[in-house]
Structure formats: C-alpha cells, structure tokens
A and B are shown apart, each in its own frame.
Chain A
Amino acid sequence: MKRSVITVVGKDKIGIIAKVCTYLANNSINILDISQTIIQDFFNMMMIVDTSKSPKKFDEIAEELDQIGSEIGVIIKTQHEDIFNKMHRI
C-alpha cells in the first residue's frame, strides 16, 4: 500500500473538504485517516490516503491537488508518508 499525506492549509470556508474528497473519489484514492484543527485562525487539515488503486501517478495527483488548492484559495501539499514516519517514529 502506497500511503501519502495530503495537507490543506488556508482560510476556512465552505466546501474545502468536499472539493478535495470529490477529487480523491473520482481518482480511486482511498482516505484512511482524516483530521483537522485551527491554528492561529488558519484551517489545517491532514488526510492519510492510499494511492495504490489510483490510475494516476504520484506527480500527477500532487499537481492536480495543488491546482484545486489555488482554485479555492488554500495550499494543498501531497507528500509521501515516509518523511513523517522517519522523523517522528523510531
């Protein structure tokens, strides 16, 4: 299973999660975990997703999510989960 972490940071507004989840569903990307918090008035959301069933490559997914982010005025980053596991788990 290839797991990636999607983070969404920006000003809170209606429909951010809907927009991201629609994209994930349309591209056969499964959401394994989702959580959100507000830090200094900024909306922070993190999703752990499984991209192994998606027909699209990692780069393509990352780029398209970035594009959706700029359309709705938030920053969407997609990263392989390993960087977080390595840093925070022994």
Chain B
Amino acid sequence: MINIHEVIETNKMIEQENLDVRTITLGINLLDCAGTDLSEVNQRIYEKITRVAKDLVSAGNRIQREFGIPIVNKRISVTPISLIGASCCKTVEDYVTIAETLDRAAHEVGVNFIGGYSALVTKAMTASDELLIKSIPKALQCTESVCSSVNVGSTKTGIDMDAVKLLGEIILETARLTKDRDSIGCAKLVVFCNAPDDMPFMAGAFHGITEGDAVINVGVSGPGVVKKALESVRGADFETLCETIKRTAFKITRVGQLVAQESSKILGVPFGIVDLSLAPTPAVGDSIADILEEIGLEYAGAPGTTAALALLNDQVKKGGVMASSFVGGLSGAFIPVSEDQGMINAVEAGALTLEKLEAMTCVCSVGLDMIAIPGDTKASTISGIIADEMAIGMVNQKTTAVRIIPVIGKNVGERVEFGGLLGHAPIMRVNDFACDNFINRGGRIPAPIHSFKN
C-alpha cells in the first residue's frame, strides 16, 4: 500500500513545484465534413465539433477534482482545414468563414484554443494550401482561439521554398493586422518541418490524416519538479544527474498516462499518445532555463547550454517512454522565450541570442518558439530564419518549428506583453544582412541523401 512519504512527495510536486497536466487535447477528424457547399461545410464542422467535444471540459474538471492534479487546458485539434475547404473555398474570405466557425465551436464547448487551421504543404502547395495560407492573417485577426500551422518540409520530401517565402510575408502581414494587440496573431502561427500528426500542444496541434475519427492526446508538464529534484544532486556527476532526471520524468509521465486513460474512459474516445514534453510557463519556478542553470550554467545561453539541453531532452524521453504505453507528439523540452521567465532573464542579461537558440533547437524537441523580433524585420529575413530552422529538422530527422513574432512598432530593447500563458518577451536582435537572392530563387530544396532508406 502507498505510504505517507509517497503521498507527501506527490502533493508537494503539485502544490509547490507546479506539476500539472498541461493539456488534454481532443483530436477530431473533419474529413467527413468536406463538400462543395461552403455554408453546409461550416454547419457540419460546427455540429461535429460541438457534438464530439461537448463533455471535454467537464471531463477535465472531473479528473482534476478526483485526482487533485490541475489540468490547465482543455483543447481541440482538427484535420488540417486546407483539406476540408479544398472543394468549397474559392477565395480567402471563404476560408476565413471556416476559421470563424472553428472559433464559435471552441467558444461553445469552452476550450481556450482550437488548432488545425493548417496546411500540410511538405513538398509543394496545392491551390487550396496556398489559399489557406493567404487567409491566415485575416483568420487570426478575426478569431480568438484559432491556431494555425503550416508544414513546409520533411526529411522525406525536402523543403518547399515557395511556401517558406510566402510564409515570411504571411507572418509579417499577420503581425500588421494584429498590431493593436502587440502582433499577437503571430503567437498562434507555427511553421513546421516534420510536423507530428498527434501533437497535443498549441499552437501547432492538428489532427493528422493518419489518425482515427477522434482521439485523446495528453501533454504533461513539470519543469519545476525536475528543477527541484536536481537541487538535491548539486555537484554530483553526470550519471547521477541523468538518473535523477530520468526518474523524475517517469513520475511526471505516469500522471499524464493516468489522466489520458481516465479522460479516454469518460469521453468514450480512444487514447492516442502522451506527449512527454517539459513545457514551461511564465510562472516563477516553472522554467526550462532554471533547469539548465541548476545543471551548472550561469544563464541559459552560456557555453555548455546545448550539451545540457541535449542530455535533459534525452533523459526526459528515456524516463518517460517506460511510463506510458504510447508516446508521441514532440516529447522533449520546449524552449519558448516569452513563456519561460528564466529564458527572458537570459535574453535580458545578454546571455541568450537568436543564434544560440537556433543551435539549441538541434537537440531539443521544438524550434524557435515565441521569439519577439523588431517589427521592421524584412519578410525575406523571416523566411531565411524559417529556412534555417527547417533545414535543421530535415537533416536531423526531427520536428522543428518557428513561431516568431515581428512586433510592429517595437524595436530591440523594448518589451512586449502577450498576457496569460503566452507571457512577455524582450525584442531580440535579428541578423539583418540580406538573404533576398537566396529566398527569391523559388522551388524546392531536395530531400537529404540519408532519407533514401528504401
């Protein structure tokens, strides 16, 4: 039987070290809502989401009460909308009506974000992919909860540089249309390479076409718990350090697995995966940068940061894999800047630059995430940053992403406040030497040689 020390340990993680389940995300297939009549498609989408997800929020709240573990977000991901709107959307405005429908449905069932206003371009854009991408600025301007993502490359297919070029412009346009709210639209737009089909975290979540009709994916959290555990092994060697991270990751993930199974049972929807990612929040003590500092760095960004992050990411996976029957999504450590107080401190101290963040993305689970840059950054420069990040993902056979926010009217040295989980961020310096001639070439970067494994 369980003993008092184990009970105290668990409750201390929850009460003092910010252990929570970051999100229960219900993936919903919308392929059966497609058709040629736009208003009918909108109606079907609304009906299906509000029917399948009607008990999602109450199920989350019930699990929270019964197990005493906070479940921070209840969210929905849907099939990439460029597939659903392909035959009924002829204009940008047509696509925007679907975004508005998603927003209404999300509001009706009480979730805070709905992901999947997406296009899976990968090798080349279809006409509907291109139309959806062009509708993103307007869609993110006139909705609150809709999140958008575009997959522009993969290890198997290479990188569609036409889409990369277009997205540089789209990100700037989204920033302009939401400039009255510090360009917050861009915080809800992710550009991916090797996007996973089953990721529960926003803003990049969508319900991939490899998935079933509905699925429950759960994202755990717990940087604070790892940080606290590492405090007890200060000065110990790497073996002890790694073992401690692994053991802690196991415990965190077991909670995720329990929540996933329970919500699957209550909702009558199959359990998909647990995403093992350590996801920070702006709350003090809930930071990946704090873990890196605890490992032995003065600030995140100091020499040694990439190695420290690599071992953290690997141990989180090793500990988590055994704790769950199915692991998926991104599963690693997130390194968003604005959502992590330790990262913000590191940027403000001058320890962490965009280039170092790029290096860090080679060894962790995501990419350049929630980074505010000057609003006068050129579209081609943004495309260049995206291309670099996509190349890292393509060559290393991993997911990489860019969620970057050119804050209109602000420059290096200023700060931007997004509020809530999105946090606040200092505007970071961007290398502004030109890459126009590279971006303007057009076409596709071929898949790397090691992708030909057949």
Residues of A within 8 A of B (CB): 5, 7, 32-33, 35-37, 39, 44-46, 48, 58-59, 62, 77-89
Contact = CB atoms under 8 A, between A and B. Distances in A.
A44 B4 CA distance: 8
B3 interface: yes
Nearest to B257: A86
A76 B55 CA distance: 28
Given A58-B66, A62-B65, A82-B258, A88 B2 contact: yes
B255 interface: yes
B4 A86 contact: no
Contact of B67 (A37, A59, A80): A80
A62 to B, nearest CB: 7
Given A46-B3, A86-B254, A89-B2, 8 more contacts: A7-B7, A36-B4, A39-B8, A83-B68, A86-B255, A87-B251, A88-B6, A88-B9
Interface of A is mostly: strand
B193 to A, nearest CB: 35
Contacts of B6: 84, 87-88
B8 to A, nearest CB: 6
B449 interface: no
Contacts of A59: 65
11 contacts: A5-B2, A7-B7, A44-B4, A44-B8, A48-B1, A79-B66, A80-B66, A83-B67, A84-B7, A86-B258, A88-B251
Interface string B243-264: 0000000010011011000000
A56 to B, nearest CB: 14
B258 A83 contact: yes
Contacts of A82: 67, 258
B2 A85 contact: yes
B4 A84 contact: no
Interface residues of B, number: 21
Nearest to A39: B8
B223 to A, nearest CB: 17
B11 A88 contact: no
Given A86-B254, A86-B257, A87-B255, A37 B4 contact: yes
Nearest to B262: A82
Minimum-distance CB pairs A-B, first 10: A79-B68, A83-B67, A46-B4, A88-B6, A86-B254, A86-B258, A84-B2, A35-B4, A87-B251, A80-B66
A16 B191 CA distance: 56
Contacts of B3: 35, 46
Interface in B1-46: 1-11
Contacts of A89: 2
Given A5-B2, A35-B4, A46-B4, A84 B66 contact: no
B69 interface: yes
A32 B254 CA distance: 25
Contacts of A85: 2
Contacts of A87: 6, 10, 251, 254-255
A14 B11 CA distance: 24
Contacts of B4: 35-37, 44-46
Interface string B304-322: 0000000000000000000
A7 B14 CA distance: 14
A37 B6 CA distance: 13
A89 B258 CA distance: 13
Contact of A77 (B11, B251, B255, B258): B11
Contacts of B9: 88
Given A5-B2, A35-B3, A44-B4, A88 B10 contact: yes
Contacts of A62: 65
A37 B9 CA distance: 13
Nearest to A62: B65
B11 to A, nearest CB: 6
A89 B3 CA distance: 11
A46 B7 contact: yes
Instruction: Please indicate which of the listed interface residues B1, B69, B251, B255 has the most CB atoms of chain A within 10 Å of its own CB.
Output: B1
Instruction: Please indicate which of the listed interface residues B3, B4, B65, B69 has the most CB atoms of chain A within 10 Å of its own CB.
Output: B4
Nearest to A58: B66
Nearest to A37: B4
